[in-house]
Structure 1
């Protein structure tokens, strides 16, 4: 009794005799003698060529079989993007991969992972499907990146998104912030020329102009702080306390100028600098307050004397005018009489005559006495 095996269209058969591969079979009907030790393995020609429990190399000597297979031999340093009829199917790693070409057309795009950056010819739309094989690094719009392969610097990266293979080469990107930054120096103790120890709060703004040079400096911000500290000590140490308090703007201009002399060395542009606060020791502050109070009192006394002198001079001028002009004198008397009347609630008169006559008599008598 023969055993019937049917190989359908879209399938291929592999004939084995006593476990050894003989040849591949096209679609059709095959009858096997159950006592011959022959077996047929039927494979789907739409899927990858794979024989359970058999090494793929056992079949690669069959020229007829190879005509219906597309074989990709991927090296250890490669990956291959596998496309079926032009559409991405999978990513192949090192090894030999065989696919039936009777149902679909198979093509491959190879990449050498010893060159870590994913080449431009690989469509970026495919990269989300390769997440396990690539790493993504982003450089923000306000940053510059510096690319390293195995800790060796390669080049500067502009803002954007970059893709690298996860392979034998370690990839690192260090980013540098290119926005304006601020360096604050708070409570810095410095001694003036006249041996007064005070504390300064100073600030400067800068922007990194050369990221590669900035990366060459270990502990970049600490070294910037020390540079600012040394420049301040250099300048403040040549000034006395009174000069320092008077020359705040000059200090800022000097420090900014000296910092910019070092800008090329550090890869930095210093934009502005300013002295925020001068904090004096307690005893010096008391002395300064005493001096200030004495100065203000002296200024107040001077102003008072000036006002008194001006007032006396004005009275003298008025008296001269009244001596020279009787009518003016009379008007001045009436003015003072009016002011007196405004402050008096009740006026009592003795003797005859009305109020106006008595007042006229009083003022007339005074005028006669003066004459």
Structure 2
């Protein structure tokens, strides 16, 4: 039986299952229980067709001269480079490579430390082949990150992009806001002192004062702030009647801002302002108030109408008194009305004798009658 080892491959001769030597490309006759295992010559780790343990080949001097071995210790990985080009990531164990017409180099990475060594190539940080081994953290503008190694706080990360080794140490980085934060408190149903249920919405503006302590000492600061605002609303609304609350919306906002300052300090928050957005009444109460409002507006309209009628009557009375006392003014007023009437009259016949104004007045008066 013949075995052909093509160019670009190496053969390993076995006799009765025992390794004899490494052979070059060529044609070989298999007899007397001789067999051949074959491995490709390339940049990758040496793997034979039969996946033979490569350590048994180290007794062959040719194999030793044409290969390089690199051992990766437990708790480490190694970056493998061929002719200064990244090839693969090596796990713990011995790795054999062909050194024929190529050079190999390695960078060891300790999995017990998430900090990347200075010699780590920056060009490989976003290489898809290293995604399982690299932890990428991006901190956007107006944010700050709290860095954890194995659930222990290490410090703060300012806006930017950071890379860590994703090994035996867990790496986490919750992100917090550095700008003014606006939190809505929507639809809080609260009973007033006179047993009316109001639905109140407000908004709270605040900033974080201590990023380390707020994550290490406070459990869910947003929820605690939410509860504090709820309690402050209930304290204020529960002690006042509906009419008082509706007329003191500004006072309610001031009360919330003042009362939450101290609570915010305990949560490492600087409460800048708490404002009431909406106060929604129950449907029946709203209809009643609309009816009252309509009645008030109608009463105001009636008062204005009566006031204008009185003013108009007083003006007519003053005009009549002046005309009674002044004959010339009376005549002018009479001419004014005659002029208005004449605008609507077609032809008027007058005689030449007598006062024309008197005749015109008489004619118009008779036509009017």
Tell me if both proteins adopt one fold, taking TM over 0.5 as the criterion: yes
Distance in 2 (alpha carbons) for counterparts of 1:249 and 1:308: 40
Change (3 A) 1:100 1:301: closer
Please say if residues 74 and 94 of structure 1, whose CA atoms lie closer than 8 Å, have aligned partners that are also in contact.
yes
In the TM superposition, 1:140-151 aligns within 5 A as: 140-141=140-141, 143-151=143-151
User: 2:339 corresponds to which residue?
Assistant: 338
CA distances 1:155-196 after superposition (whole Å, capped 9, x unpaired): 44444444454543344444446674441321522313xx24
Aligned residues: 354
User: 1:169 corresponds to which residue?
Assistant: 169
Instruction: State the 1:345 CA deviation.
Output: 6.3
Please say if residues 16 and 38 of structure 1, whose CA atoms lie closer than 8 Å, have aligned partners that are also in contact.
yes
User: 1:236 corresponds to which residue?
Assistant: 237
Please say if residues 206 and 268 of structure 1, whose CA atoms lie closer than 8 Å, have aligned partners that are also in contact.
no
User: 2:184 corresponds to which residue?
Assistant: 183
Change (3 A) 1:245 1:42: closer
Change (3 A) 1:358 1:102: closer
Instruction: State the 1:247 CA deviation.
Output: 1.8
Distance in 1 (alpha carbons) for counterparts of 2:258 and 2:346: 77
Normalising by structure 1, what TM-score? 0.71
Please say if residues 45 and 103 of structure 1, whose CA atoms lie closer than 8 Å, have aligned partners that are also in contact.
no
Distance in 2 (alpha carbons) for counterparts of 1:139 and 1:125: 20
Normalising by structure 2, what TM-score? 0.72
User: 1:131 corresponds to which residue?
Assistant: 131
Instruction: State the 1:337 CA deviation.
Output: 2.4
SS of equivalent residue, structure 1 residue 318: helix
Please state if 1:262 is matched with 2:263.
yes
CA distances 1:291-330 after superposition (whole Å, capped 9, x unpaired): 5445434433443443344334433443444345332221
Change (3 A) 1:263 1:60: farther
Change (3 A) 1:101 1:302: same
In the TM superposition, 1:211-230 aligns within 5 A as: 212-213=212-213, 215=215, 217-230=218-231
Change (3 A) 1:66 1:260: farther
Q: Which runs of 5+ in 1 are unaligned?
A: 365-371
Q: Which runs of 5+ in 2 are unaligned?
A: 363-369
Over the aligned positions, Cα root-mean-square deviation in angstroms equals 4.7
Change (3 A) 1:292 1:17: closer
Please say if residues 147 and 173 of structure 2, whose CA atoms lie closer than 8 Å, have aligned partners that are also in contact.
yes
Change (3 A) 1:307 1:156: same
Instruction: State the 1:335 CA deviation.
Output: 1.3
Instruction: State the 1:85 CA deviation.
Output: 1.8
Change (3 A) 1:354 1:279: farther
Distance in 1 (alpha carbons) for counterparts of 2:284 and 2:96: 90
CA distances 1:214-260 after superposition (whole Å, capped 9, x unpaired): 54544554433222111222223343333322222232233234334
Distance in 2 (alpha carbons) for counterparts of 1:107 and 1:142: 42
Distance in 2 (alpha carbons) for counterparts of 1:345 and 1:221: 87
